[in-house]
Structure 1
Amino acid sequence: MTTITLGGTGIQIEKNGFGCLPIQRISQKEAAYLLRKAVDGGMNYFDTARSYSDSEEKIGYAFQGIRDKVILATKSHAKTGQELKEHLETSLRNLRTDYIDIYQFHNPAFCPKPGGEDGLYDAALEAKAQGKIGHISITNHRLAVAHEAIDSGLYATLQFPYSYLAGPQEQELVDKCQKVGMGFIAMKGMAGGLIRSGPAAAAWMALQPTVVPIWGVQHKWELDQFLSAVRETPAMTEEYQQIIDHDRKELAGDFCRGCGYCMPCPAGIEINQCARMSLMLRRAPEASWLSDQWQAEMKKIENCLHCNQCKSKCPYGLDTPRLLAENYQDYKTYLAR
């Protein structure tokens, strides 16, 4: 096991964390099995959010009687201080606990600060004084907000997309966090499904000493590959490096990460999947992406309004309408084979 201290919090955690977004897609019994298996295998950091439907409730059910063995992190997408207080009380109730270790503002469009008209940071400070949360943190997909959060000195941790496909801009965030003693939590360690080798991803993350990846887990086989990285720190083998080099070459340039912050689309297009369909066809079993359902979803691209709302909201600055058009043309070629 590799135990690290989460930034300046003093919290000791196993370096590999459990991302709890996917467990909203499975039953309570299945989720509890995976969560308890993770704890038994050495994981102790679990990250969820108020907006992940029933994820918090499943965690609360699974961890009855072992709250002292886990570190819980959740998030609020509240827009006001009063709404944050309501989210927090719901999260405490769902998680069946009286405190949350890491409480995060969930991808705000700005950096909340004390005295702000929104009241978010002040509400979090009040909750911290009451012992309901241990540390105030933030998640984001916007580089400008992430830099402001680091520079502010107000946050215990930053959660941001980071994988072996990351570029110098993301690496700069990691380095800045390390310099100021701020924890860095890596979401999308598998690049939203574009990375197919969990062992290669885990081996690369093992080389990032201050980064805590939260691996999204829905299936036992997914958990098993990351628990193997808990049992023994994975070495960067020649095989893993070849996988990484191949992926970096294939995925160089602009590509949709599937984060979904461009949604909703006024034309009903599922942009966060359709704008990267070409990659998914080539990097995942293609049959499921060629189903009648996905053919219908891709056909919606014909109804694009060219309003550019998606382009303006993309945290990576992508020309989303262009990506949609290119992916649709490629998809029709695939169907015609």
Structure 2
Amino acid sequence: MRLGKTNLEVNKNGFGALPIQRRNMADSVEILRHAYENGIDFYDTAHFYTDSEAKLGAAFEDVREDIYLASKGAAEEVEEFWNQLETSLKSMKTDYLDLYQFHNLSFCPKEDDDLYKAMFQAKEDGLIRHIGITTHKITHAHEAIESGLYETLQYPFSYLSGESEINLVNRCKELDVGFLAMKGMGGGLITNSKASYAFMNQFDNVLPIWGIQKMEELDEFLSYDETTVLDDELKEAIEKDKKELGDDFCRGCAYCMPCPEEINISMCARMSLWIRRFPAEPYLTEEYHEILNKTLDCVECYECVEKCPYELEIPRLLKENYEDYQNVLNGKTKGVRNETVH
């Protein structure tokens, strides 16, 4: 597919390199090389993904010209912008990035902002080839693509997305802005990779960035191609998921944190979904019990609500998830494994 006005021709599978920070160097390099050897050529990471950039550098130093490397920086000051970009280039063992993105900033940099001028200067200097932006806020997304300053937008998109997100994808196509779909598996709540791929296949301007940390996950996505389309069985599976999850669910982005009361919001606000969609037993330990009990310390300060990109009523979600977890512990309801289609 063509990634918007960047004119980059990329494999429909993008590799999201956040999860490989949880793997050791040898395993990560093996997974990355397997992806490369099977045609994946677009790799997305970020300055703040701990050692993810270094793993990409180790895997691809000898084939740099055969792939596209994208990273992100979250600096809001010019000096830190240059520091983060320099670190990313060194870690990835390259003298340029094919795409560099502002990483979920609290604002959308404009043309006359010093921060955007620094980004543009980096492009002029050949350190980056294309300018993009990532965000979880749809208002920032529209502001960015309408400005004409950005060649790509990275935004959450999956078969759980609603009309507003689909309208955003279509507007990107109209403006020839490449659309990078993060959280294509719903932040881990979607278990049906085939349905996810088939959904993405409907949009010729969308590049899904699958978060991969296991070889078997990678092989699932490699097994799909342009013939993977939404048939009746996959459509039924999608409708079942959408009915179960609805619109009011935590995506696990963690931008609501840290909590002043040290509550693990991104886990506790969606624990009910975990124990219903996966085997409940792994989550019924003393450790998880203690984590969920912390939700009782919520003072409803609403700092989390103010920071949540999806404007979720987090104190209510914490309470509901705590009560549901207690019901499972007491045997009043059971965790259910959601059947998947492969």
Give the TM-score of the pair, scaled to structure 1.
0.96
Amino acid across the alignment from 1:242: E
Q: CA RMSD in A?
A: 1.0
Matched, 1:87 2:84: yes
Kindly provide the CA deviation profile for residues 23-70 of structure 1, in whole angstroms up to 9, marking residues without a partner as x: 000000000011000011111010000010000000000112000111
Secondary structure at the aligned position of 2:129 is classed as: strand
The equivalent of 2:108 in structure 1 is: 111
The equivalent of 1:185 in structure 2 is: 180
Q: Is the 8 A contact 2:74 2:102 kept in 1?
A: yes
User: What is the CA–CA distance in structure 2 between the aligned matches of 1:57 and 1:253, rounded to whole Å?
Assistant: 37
User: What is the CA–CA distance in structure 2 between the aligned matches of 1:157 and 1:253, rounded to whole Å?
Assistant: 26
**Runs of 5+ in structure 2 lacking a partner?**
332-342
**Which residue, out of 3, 6, 9, partners 2:3?**
6
Kindly provide the CA deviation profile for residues 55-106 of structure 1, in whole angstroms up to 9, marking residues without a partner as x: 0000000112000111000000101111110000000000000000010000
Secondary structure at the aligned position of 1:63 is classed as: helix
Amino acid across the alignment from 1:136: I
> Where in structure 2 are the equivalents of 1:144-293 lying within 5 Å?
144-230=139-225, 233-293=227-287
The equivalent of 1:333 in structure 2 is: 327
Q: Is the 8 A contact 2:61 2:94 kept in 1?
A: no
**Which residue, out of 136, 139, 154, partners 1:141?**
136
User: What is the CA–CA distance in structure 2 between the aligned matches of 1:97 and 1:223, rounded to whole Å?
Assistant: 25
Amino acid across the alignment from 1:258: G
Deviation at 1:153, TM superposition (A): 0.3
Deviation at 1:109, TM superposition (A): 1.2
Q: Give the ranges of 4+ consecutive aligned residues of structure 1 lying more than 6 Å apart after TM superposition.
A: none
Secondary structure at the aligned position of 2:6 is classed as: coil
Secondary structure at the aligned position of 2:246 is classed as: coil
Report the number of matched residues: 331
Amino acid across the alignment from 1:239: E
User: What is the CA–CA distance in structure 2 between the aligned matches of 1:199 and 1:16, rounded to whole Å?
Assistant: 12
The equivalent of 2:340 in structure 1 is: none
User: What is the CA–CA distance in structure 2 between the aligned matches of 1:242 and 1:259, rounded to whole Å?
Assistant: 27
Q: Is the 8 A contact 2:21 2:51 kept in 1?
A: yes
User: What is the CA–CA distance in structure 1 between the aligned matches of 2:187 and 2:155, rounded to whole Å?
Assistant: 13
User: What is the CA–CA distance in structure 2 between the aligned matches of 1:173 and 1:278, rounded to whole Å?
Assistant: 30
Q: Is the 8 A contact 1:82 1:123 kept in 2?
A: no
Deviation at 1:252, TM superposition (A): 1.6
Secondary structure at the aligned position of 2:294 is classed as: helix
Q: Percent identity among equivalent residues?
A: 49
**Which residue, out of 114, 127, 131, partners 2:126?**
131
User: What is the CA–CA distance in structure 2 between the aligned matches of 1:167 and 1:300, rounded to whole Å?
Assistant: 32
Matched, 1:17 2:14: yes
Amino acid across the alignment from 2:282: S
Deviation at 1:246, TM superposition (A): 0.6
Secondary structure at the aligned position of 1:46 is classed as: strand
**Runs of 5+ in structure 1 lacking a partner?**
none
User: What is the CA–CA distance in structure 2 between the aligned matches of 1:309 and 1:172, rounded to whole Å?
Assistant: 29
